[in-house]
Structures are given as C-alpha cells and as structure tokens.
Amino acid sequence: MKVLGIETSCDETGVAVYETSDDGRAGALRAHALYSQIALHAEYGGVVPELASRDHVRKLLPLIRQTLAEAGMTIADVDGVAYTAGPGLAGALLVGAAAGRALAWALERPAIAVHHMEGHLLAPLMEADPPAPPFVALLVSGGHTQLIAVEAIGCYRLLGDTLDDAAGEAFDKTAKMMGLAYPGGPELARLAEGGRANAYKFSRPMTDRPGFDFSFSGLKTQVLLAWQASDGSDSARADIARGFEDAVVDTLAIKCERALRATGARTLVVAGGVGANRRLRARLEKLAAELGGRVCFPRPEFCTDNGAMIAYAGALRLAAGQHEGESIAVYPRWDMATLPAL
C-alpha cells in the first residue's frame, strides 16, 4: 500500500510517500519533499497564520507532483492519503486536509486524518532497528513539551506537560531576546557550541518537586536579566546561550529519567524539533546507557516537521483498517489520549 502523506499544520509544507506491505508490518519511505516558509515569516519574527495558509495553497500541489515523480509514481498509484488534521493552525491545517480529503475522494481511496504529535512520536520507528512499545516518549517541539507513556501504538498516556512555554518556544523566544533572527532555536544551539559551560548557571525549573511537568517561562526571564546585565558581547551571548541550553537539556533529562523509572520502561523515544539538538541527544544517550536501556531519535531532518512522519503514521492506521468519513475536519486542539488504538 502506497500512502501519500501531507503536512501543513504550521510553517512547513511536507509531502511524502510511504509504502507498506499488505499486513502493514514492513515498509519503506519512497520519497519525501519539504518546503519551509521560514523566509516568508522571518521579517515578522514569527509565524503569521494567514500567510502560512496562503503559502501552503501555493506550494502543496507542486510539492505533491514533485514527490510522486521522485517516487516514480503517478497519482493513480496512490492507495491512501494521510493528512495532518491537528493540532496546529486552523487555516494551515485546512489546506492540507481539504487537498488530502478531496484527492482521496476523487481517487476513490481511503483517507486518514493524522495527529501531528503522533506523527512526531512515530518518526523514530521509520529508522533501522525501530523501538517497540512499551516505551516513554519525550515530545519536544515548538508547540509541545510532553512526556508520554506509550503502552502500544495508539495508546498514549500523558505523564507530563508544560505549564507555559514549550521547549522549542523557549529556545525561540530566548534567541529573539538576544537579537537572533526567527526561528532562533537552531541558531541559539549553534551559538551555545562556542559558549563556556557554567559561565552562567540557570535554574532547572520544577526538578525539585515530584511529577513530570515542565515550566520554561521563568528560565526565559532569568536569561533576559542575565543578557541585560551583560556587556552584550558575542562571547556573553554564547555563554548565556550555553547556560540556557544546559538548563533545558538537564531539565528534560531529569524528567525523562524520572519517567523511565516510574514506568519501568527501558526505551526512551525522543521526537519533535528540539530532538535535533545535539547536546540533548548526547545527554539522553548517556542517560540511557547509565540506565542500561536505549534512546531512539529520528534522523535530525525528521525531528522537525515533515511529510514522512505523516505518511508513516497514516500508513499504520490505514493498514489497521481505519479511515475517515467524507467530511473535511480539522482539530486545532486535539488530545492524543483520545486517539483510537491500533
């Protein structure tokens, strides 16, 4: 079964084709393409929803044609269509959902609405030697910071969430405060490479109390105060970036360890844009080794938004016989715990 995946929940248009065997047990990515709107939103310092929607309209069909050509397919070879239906920006989601649902209807093939965060969560399963449930998932993106106990694919129990900013959002806002261009997260991480450890020591929020929740907005304020009190030099910026990154990485690692111990799971799965962070990857590799378990990440390009994870998650659900009705629906807010089991 060849599944066309469409991602338009925020500021990237992603398209991919994932092919599964008839029983859904084996599969391979046939082609994928991504168009990022970063340049479009950069001058506004953040994503402008209406511009995002209009750009998805412009880019989606050409990207579908390009992806099908790369897979050596025509549209008639598509056996099912998966599209992100939430969570995300309503207008942006509607572009992918309308195109995906209509395409499936015209082709008389099934369509499946995919939860964006389930897409992220399952992305590591596309890699070689994939992890199998039960495992703990750390989802760290621009909009989410969640620890989830995964008993089976499709059975998601939320252990912890952020009370304010998401980890990626904290990276982006901190970067902006220090004068870096949108989206500053990756640039802040790059700057931190040249910063000294412990030149600035920020707190590890909420690690001194039980539970799995996160809070990053106070950390952002600490960084702002440190930046304002500094001489504003490149080296101060790098040192502060390093202090901030270490605080976020440490905080995430402490909560991951807690979740692994509490659930008894031996595998940690990490996904979402911040999962591309090198220091986070190294820290969690070390943690997994200490606990005698393993940690699994998607390759960095599949940590951030992409069509491949949507095609893959959709392929699993279509192979299990799930599909949508004929209406077009999006869910800008959508609780993963409400998803049907596979």
Specify the stretch interacting with ligand KG4 by CB under 6 A; choose among 36-44, 163-171, 201-209, 285-293. Answer: 163-171
Q: Does 180 bind ligand KG4 (CB under 6 A)?
A: no
Q: Which of residues 240-299 bind ligand KG4 (CB under 6 A)?
A: 272-274, 276-277
Q: With respect to ligand KG4, which residue has the nearer C-beta, 131 or 298?
A: 298
Q: Which residues of 307-324 are buried (b: 16+ CB within 10 A; e: fewer)?
A: bbbbbbbbbbbbbeebbb
Q: Does 55 bind ligand KG4 (CB under 6 A)?
A: no
Is there a contact between 68 and 81 (Cβ–Cβ < 8 Å)?
no
Compose the 283-322 pattern: x for residues touching Zn ion by CB under 5 A, - for all others.
Answer: ----------------------x-----------------
Q: Does 304 bind ligand KG4 (CB under 6 A)?
A: yes
Strand ranges across the sheet with 135-140: 155-160, 145-152, 135-140, 267-271, 294-296
- Compute CA distances 39 → 46, 270, 274, whole Å: 10, 27, 20
Q: Which residues of 48-68 are buried (b: 16+ CB within 10 A; e: fewer)?
A: bbebbbbbbbebbeebbeebb
Q: In angstroms, what is the minimal distance from the CB of 216 to ligand KG4? A: 11
Q: With respect to ligand KG4, which residue has the nearer C-beta, 146 or 277?
A: 277
Q: With respect to ligand KG4, which residue has the nearer C-beta, 20 or 145?
A: 145
Specify the stretch interacting with ligand KG4 by CB under 6 A; choose among 39-47, 56-64, 180-188, 314-322. Answer: 180-188
Specify the stretch interacting with ligand KG4 by CB under 6 A; choose among 104-112, 138-146, 152-160, 334-342. Answer: 138-146
Is there a contact between 189 and 277 (Cβ–Cβ < 8 Å)?
yes
Which 3 state secondary structure label does DSSP give 30? Answer: strand
Q: Does 12 bind Zn ion (CB under 5 A)?
A: no
What is the Rg, in whole angstroms, of the alpha carbon atoms belonging to the chain? 20
Q: Does 141 bind Zn ion (CB under 5 A)?
A: yes
Phi, psi dihedrals of residue 141, rounded to the nearest 5° = -130, -165
Query: Distance (Å, rounded) from C-alpha 211 to C-alpha 158?
Result: 12
Give the footprint of Zn ion on this chain (CB under 5 A). Answer: 141, 305
Give the footprint of ligand KG4 on this chain (CB under 6 A). Answer: 10, 141-143, 168-169, 171-172, 183, 185-186, 189, 272-274, 276-277, 304-305
